[in-house]
């Protein structure tokens, strides 16, 4: 049971935890797990009933592993939409801990991966699970609570984008953006004053400040 739990945890890794596994890596995990626990074959085998597109998954696994030359005719047909050129011619472990079991298999898989040029597009974005999609729905449910029903669609989309791509930005990026907005607001106010518009009113009274706009924006979203 510890081995199953180890593989399950490996499949749930996020980008910040070492990256999601691709089909090549997940197949190595499943193959080794089936070897250790044969009963799992009915669910994890390459052509198990649960697999919707066995030829496509097998093809992606081979390309990701650098074994493109081993593609069958059906597998080549399944990957045809991913061709760079549409006119291209088809040419033993014991007493492992929970994490160590999966990691040892993945390390071995990387040594077997063949790095070579391919006529297919980069397929590294095809992961072995739909974890990201499930997490996105969970985040949407957390953000769009009953008391936030008036939230605009574009704001929900923006918040989801930031949540799901949090590994691409940090507090320093936020600070830089806010500073840039403050500078832009100051420049607009200066141009307004120099143009002679609103001589009796100050920039702060003639237009709402960026800080107040942000506060208002946050209030409306909350």
Asked if residue 120 lies in contact with residue 68, where contact means CB atoms within 8 angstroms, the answer is yes
Q: Residue 196 has what pLDDT?
A: 67
Task: List the beta bridge partners of residue 127.
Answer: 22
* The pair of three-digit structure tokens given for residue 208, joined into one six-digit string: 């709402």
Task: List the beta bridge partners of residue 22.
Answer: 127
* Weakly modelled stretches of the chain, pLDDT under 70: 14-19, 86-99, 108, 111-117, 125, 127-129, 196-222
Distances (CA, A) of 74 to 6, 28, 123: 33, 22, 18
pLDDT tens for each residue of 52-78:
888 888 888 888 888 888 888 888 888
Question: Which among 96, 94, 106 has a CA at the least distance from the CA of 17?
Answer: 106
Q: Residue 38 has what pLDDT?
A: 85
pLDDT tens for each residue of 86-96:
554 444 434 44
What does the DSSP 8-state code read for residue 129? S
The pTM is what?
Answer: 0.42
* The pair of three-digit structure tokens given for residue 4, joined into one six-digit string: 């199953």
Q: Where are the domains of the chain?
A: 2-112, 131-221
Q: What angle do CA 103, 105, 107 make, to 5 degrees?
A: 65
Q: Residue 205 has what pLDDT?
A: 43
State how far the Cα of 22 lies from the Cα of 33, in Å rounded to an integer: 17
Asked if residue 6 lies in contact with residue 123, where contact means CB atoms within 8 angstroms, the answer is no
Burial class from Cβ neighbours inside 10 Å (0-12, 13-18, 19+) for residue 69 reads exposed
State how far the Cα of 33 lies from the Cα of 10, in Å rounded to an integer: 13
State how far the Cα of 16 lies from the Cα of 108, in Å rounded to an integer: 22
Length of the chain: 222
Q: Residue 144 has what pLDDT?
A: 86
Q: Residue 111 has what pLDDT?
A: 63
What is the number of alpha carbons within 13 Å of residue 11 lying toward its C-beta? 17
């Amino acid at each position: 049971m510890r081995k199953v739990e180890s593989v399950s945890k490996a499949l749930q890794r996020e980008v910040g935890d070492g990256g999601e596994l691709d089909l090549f890596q997940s197949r190595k995990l499943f193959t080794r797990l089936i070897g250790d626990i044969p009963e799992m074959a009915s669910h994890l085998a390459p052509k198990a009933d649960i697999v919707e597109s066995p030829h496509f998954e097998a093809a992606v696994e081979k390309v990701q592993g650098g074994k493109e030359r081993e593609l069958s005719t059906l597998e080549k047909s399944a990957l045809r939409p991913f061709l760079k050129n549409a006119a291209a011619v088809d040419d033993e472990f014991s007493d492992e801990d929970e994490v160590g079991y999966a990691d040892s298999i993945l390390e071995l898989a990387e040594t077997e991966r063949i790095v070579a040029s391919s006529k297919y597009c980069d397929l590294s974005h095809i992961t072995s699970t739909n974890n990201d999609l499930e997490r996105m729905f969970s985040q949407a449910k957390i953000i769009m609570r009953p008391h936030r029903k008036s939230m605009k669609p574009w704001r929900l989309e923006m918040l989801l984008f930031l949540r799901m791509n949090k590994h691409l930005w940090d507090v320093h990026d936020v600070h830089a953006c806010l500073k840039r907005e403050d500078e832009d607001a100051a420049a607009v106010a200066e141009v307004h004053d120099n143009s002679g518009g609103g001589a009796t009113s100050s920039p702060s009274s003639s237009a709402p400040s960026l800080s107040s706009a942000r506060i208002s924006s946050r209030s409306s979203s909350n």
